[in-house]
Structure 1
C-alpha cells in the first residue's frame, strides 16, 4: 500500500500521454489556394498551422498577385503557366463590374443581355482552362513530381474554387481537406449534400428558404442552369485531364465529391437551414477576432464624432468599378449626416464629399467594427465583411455588386439585421433614407447583436475547429468513415427511381391478378347461373 503515490503518478503520466497522444507534430501539408480574397482565408489557416508546428508548402503560379513566393510561415512551389489565370489580374472583377452595371442601368435588350451572359460564360470557361494547365505543367515536370513524392506529404489542403489541386492530390494519393464555400460554378453544398430546391435557394438566387411558387420555379430553373454550366462549361477542362492522366475509370466529379473533410465557411446563424453530411464542418467566421486598439490618428477621428458615432464604408477593391455619379451620390448623402464617416476608397475622388468624411486607401476593418463608436457598416456583402459585422454586432447597409453578395445581404435582411440598396438605382436621397432607418430603428442593431451572441456561443472557435479537423485527417490518414459514397450512384439509383418502377410494376401486376381473378370468378358464376336456369 505504501506504493500508492507511485501508482497514482504512473496513472497520471499514462492519462496525460493518452490525452496528448491525439496531437499532431510536424505534419506536412500541401496547399492549393485561389488568389484574391480567397487567399485571405487560406493564409490565416496556413499561419495557424505553421504556428502549431506543421510544415506547409503552397503551390502558386508565377503571376500570383497576393500569394507571395517567399513567406516566413510557408515554403512555395512556383509553377509558370503559358498564360496568367484571368482572376489573378488585379482589375479583372472591376472590368466585369463596369460591364454589368452598364447593362443594368441602361436596361439593355434581351440580345444585349444574352451577349453579356455568353461573354461571362466564355470568361468562366477560359479561367478554368487556364487553371487546368497548372496540373499539366506539374504532371509533365517529372523532377518536380518526384520531389513532391519524396517529401511524403500527409495531406492536401485545397480551395476547390479552382479544383486543379484535386487532380494532383489524387495522383499523390493524399487525403484531402477543402477550405470551401464556392466550388466550380456553385455553392459547395450543391456538389456534395442533398439540396432540395423546394426550400434551399440555389446559387445565384437571392431568395429566402420560404419561397413562393414563382420563386420555386425560378429556383429550379437556376439549379438546372448551374448544373448545365458545371457540366458543359467548367468540368470538360478537368475531364480531359482525367482521361489523359488517369484513364476512363476515373471520374473527375467523383474526385471532387470524394474529399475527406469539407471546411465550409458557413454558419447557420447566417445561412438558411439545409441538409448536411457528417464530413462537412462549419467554420463560418473563422477569421473573426476581438478588435485591437486603433492608431492614434484613427482613434482621434473616431472620438471626434461625439455622441453621434461613426459610419464605416468599404466596397473592397470593387469600388474602382463604380462610376463617379454613384460615388458622388453616396458622398452627398454622407455629407448630410451628423455622424463621422470612414470610407475605404481606392478610386477617383467623389464629388460632394463632406467635411465629416475621411477617405482612406486601407483601414483595419475588424478593429474598427469592434469599436463602440461604430453605428453601421456600408458594405458590398463580401463574406469576410459580413461575418466580421455579425461577430461585432454592427448592422449593415448593403450595396451588393457581384456574385454571392446579393445572396449574402439578403440573408441578413431576412433576419432584420441589414437593409439593401440597389447600386444602379442609388440616389443621395434614397441612400440617406436607408442610412437613417438603420441608424434610428433599434431593431437593426438589436437583431445583429442577437446574431452576434448566437455566433459566438460555440464550444470552440471556428478556427480551432478547422485546425482540429485538418489534424484529424493527418492523424488518421483520411476520414472515409464520414464520407458518403452516394455520389457514385447513378441518378436513378440515388433517387430510387428503379425501386419505384419495380414497386409500381409489382402493384400493377397484383392489380392485374386481382382484377383477372375477379373477372374469372364472375364469369364462372354467371355460367353456373345460366346452367341452372336452363
Structure 2
C-alpha cells in the first residue's frame, strides 16, 4: 500500500480539528447564581440567561413566591423560591395609578414635590420588602448551606435592587452586574467621575450634555435630590450589612467592588462621559434579526399596502391610559391610511377604526424589524428605545415616569423621535405628532443612521456580555480592572489633603523668607544707627 499524499494528511487533520471544535461538548461550563429584578428588568435578564444556557452554563435563579414574571419551572435554570408575604407588583400598581392621575395635568412645583415624596416613599417600601426577602435566605440555614455547597463561580444580578449584591458579598463570590440603574439612580455616578457641568442627572432632570448656567443649577439640584434619596434607601441595606456581613458594609461600596459592569447602554444612545475598564457596554443586547410574524399578523401587516403600519405599546407597567385619552388616540388612528397595531389591555374605545388591531401582546421586536413598520408610538422604556434604534424605526414618545422622558430625550436630541407629554394629548396634538414622525423624512433618516452606528461594532453586545461573564469564571474575578478609588476617603480622592499640605508648605516658606528678610533689614538698620553715633 502506497504512502498517503501529504496534502491528504493535512486535509484529514484539518477535518478532525474542525470536528473537535464544532462537536466537542462545552466543558468550561460555570455555575452561575442569578438574583434578578422582576418586571421588565427580568425580560432582558432572561434573554441573557438563554444565551448562557445555550453555552452550557448551569444557572440558578432566586425568585420570590409572589413574582409575576419569573416562573418556577424553566428549561433554562433551576429556581430557588423564597417565601414572601407581600406582593411588590401590587405596590407598584398602586404607585403607577397614582402617577397616571398626576401626569394628566400640567405639573406645578407643588405637584413636583408631592410626586417626589410619593416616589421616595414607594422606593423605600420596595427596597425594604426586597431586603425582607433576602433575610429569608440568611435565616434559612439549610438554604444558605446549599448555596455555599453548590460552589457557584459568580453572582449575576441587577443592582436596581441591592439584595444580590449583599448576597454575593456574604458568599464571597465574584460579582457581575447586569446594570443601568442602581439603588440610587444611574450606575455611572458611583462608578466613574461624573462632572455635573456636562453629565445630566437621570432620571428626572430632562437635560442634555449641553447645559447653560441655569440648567447646570437644575442639574446640581437634581443630583442633591438623588443624594437625599440615598439617605433613606442606604440605611435599609446598611442594616442588612451590619446584621449579616462581618465588619459591616454599605451598598455603594459593594457596588464599586463589582468585578464587571454589563451596562445596558452605549454611546450611540447615551451622551459621552468618563468610564472605567471593567465596564462593557451592551446596550441593545436583547435585539436580534426579526423573525417571521404569525400568519394572521403577517396578513394584517401586508394588507396595509404602501401606507405601512404604526405600532403602539406603553410597556409592561401601564395596562391602559385614561379613557378620554384612549378615545382621542383611537379617533386619530381611525382617520389615517396606515394600519395600526396597538397593545392595549383596557376597554376598547368607541372610536376604534377598522384599520386598528388591538392586542394584549405583540411580538414587538419582530414587528419593529418588519419593513412595513413606519412609526413606533412608545413610552420610552430602555428596552423599547434600544430596539427602535436597532431596527431603525422613528418614535413618537409618550413618557410616563421613571427614566422614560430622559430616554426619549436622547432620541429627540438626535432627531430620531418626537416627545408629547400625556397632559398635552388631544386629537390635534396627537395627530400632528404622528404625522410629523411619519412624513418628515429626517426622523427616519436619523434613526437609521443611529441603527447603522449601533450595528457597526467589532463584537455584538451579546457576545461582549457572555465573554465577560466567562472571563470572570475563568479568572475567578477581575479585580485588576477595578479602580481602588472607592477605598479612598473623599478628601484624599479630591486631593484636598495634598492641596492643604502644599498651601501650608508654601505659606510657611513665604513666612520664613519674610521673617529672614525682616531680620536682616532690621539688623542692618540697627547697625547703621550705631555707626552714625
TM-score, length-normalised on structure 1? 0.92
Residue in 2 aligned with 1:51?
Answer: 54
Q: Offset of 1:103 from its aligned partner?
A: 2.9
Stretches of structure 1 lacking an aligned partner (at least 5 in a row): none
Residue in 1 aligned with 2:70?
Answer: 67
Residue in 2 aligned with 1:149?
Answer: 148
Asked whether the 8 Å contact 1:97–1:321 carries over to 2, the reply is: no
Sort the Cα spacing of 1:103 and 1:474 in 2 relative to 1 into closer, same or farther, 3 A: same
Sort the Cα spacing of 1:505 and 1:55 in 2 relative to 1 into closer, same or farther, 3 A: same
Asked whether the 8 Å contact 1:319–1:347 carries over to 2, the reply is: no
Asked whether the 8 Å contact 1:124–1:233 carries over to 2, the reply is: no
Q: Offset of 1:431 from its aligned partner?
A: 1.4
Residue in 2 aligned with 1:219?
Answer: 219
Asked whether the 8 Å contact 1:85–1:131 carries over to 2, the reply is: no
TM-score, length-normalised on structure 2? 0.92
Residue in 2 aligned with 1:261?
Answer: 260
Asked whether the 8 Å contact 1:31–1:56 carries over to 2, the reply is: yes
Rounded to whole Å, the distance in 2 between the matches of 1:318 and 1:131 is: 19
Listed one character per residue, the Cα deviations across residues 71-127 of structure 1 (whole Å, up to 9, x for unaligned) are 11111110102x3252x33xx444323322433444577555544432321221111
Q: Offset of 1:171 from its aligned partner?
A: 1.7
Sort the Cα spacing of 1:80 and 1:507 in 2 relative to 1 into closer, same or farther, 3 A: same
Residue in 1 aligned with 2:275?
Answer: 276
Q: How does 1:156-175 map to 2 (within 5 A)?
A: 156-175=155-174
Q: How does 1:434-449 map to 2 (within 5 A)?
A: 434-449=433-448
Residue in 2 aligned with 1:366?
Answer: 365
1:76 to 67, 76, 79: 79
- Structure 1 SS opposite 2:316: helix
Residue in 1 aligned with 2:33?
Answer: 30
Q: Offset of 1:251 from its aligned partner?
A: 3.7
Q: Offset of 1:500 from its aligned partner?
A: 1.1
Residue in 2 aligned with 1:228?
Answer: 228
Sort the Cα spacing of 1:178 and 1:108 in 2 relative to 1 into closer, same or farther, 3 A: closer
Sort the Cα spacing of 1:499 and 1:341 in 2 relative to 1 into closer, same or farther, 3 A: same
Asked whether the 8 Å contact 2:103–2:422 carries over to 1, the reply is: no
Q: How does 1:79-118 map to 2 (within 5 A)?
A: 79-81=82-84, 83-86=85-88, 88-89=89-90, 92-106=91-105, 113-118=112-117
Residue in 1 aligned with 2:419?
Answer: 420
Rounded to whole Å, the distance in 2 between the matches of 1:476 and 1:17 is: 28
Residue in 1 aligned with 2:137?
Answer: 138
The worse-fitting range, judged by mean Cα deviation, of 487-496 and 351-360 is 351-360
Residue in 2 aligned with 1:285?
Answer: 284
Sort the Cα spacing of 1:84 and 1:260 in 2 relative to 1 into closer, same or farther, 3 A: same
Sort the Cα spacing of 1:249 and 1:93 in 2 relative to 1 into closer, same or farther, 3 A: closer
Rounded to whole Å, the distance in 2 between the matches of 1:525 and 1:350 is: 101
- Structure 2 SS opposite 1:484: coil
**How many aligned positions are there?**
527
Q: How does 1:344-383 map to 2 (within 5 A)?
A: 344-383=343-382
Q: Offset of 1:480 from its aligned partner?
A: 0.7
Rounded to whole Å, the distance in 1 between the matches of 2:13 and 2:307 is: 61
Q: Offset of 1:258 from its aligned partner?
A: 0.6
Residue in 2 aligned with 1:337?
Answer: 336
Listed one character per residue, the Cα deviations across residues 344-378 of structure 1 (whole Å, up to 9, x for unaligned) are 11112224222222111111111111111111111
Rounded to whole Å, the distance in 2 between the matches of 1:15 and 1:239 is: 54
Q: Offset of 1:263 from its aligned partner?
A: 0.5
Asked whether the 8 Å contact 2:238–2:249 carries over to 1, the reply is: no
- Structure 2 SS opposite 1:317: coil
Asked whether the 8 Å contact 2:104–2:422 carries over to 1, the reply is: no
Listed one character per residue, the Cα deviations across residues 233-254 of structure 1 (whole Å, up to 9, x for unaligned) are 1121111111112244544432
Asked whether the 8 Å contact 2:169–2:245 carries over to 1, the reply is: no
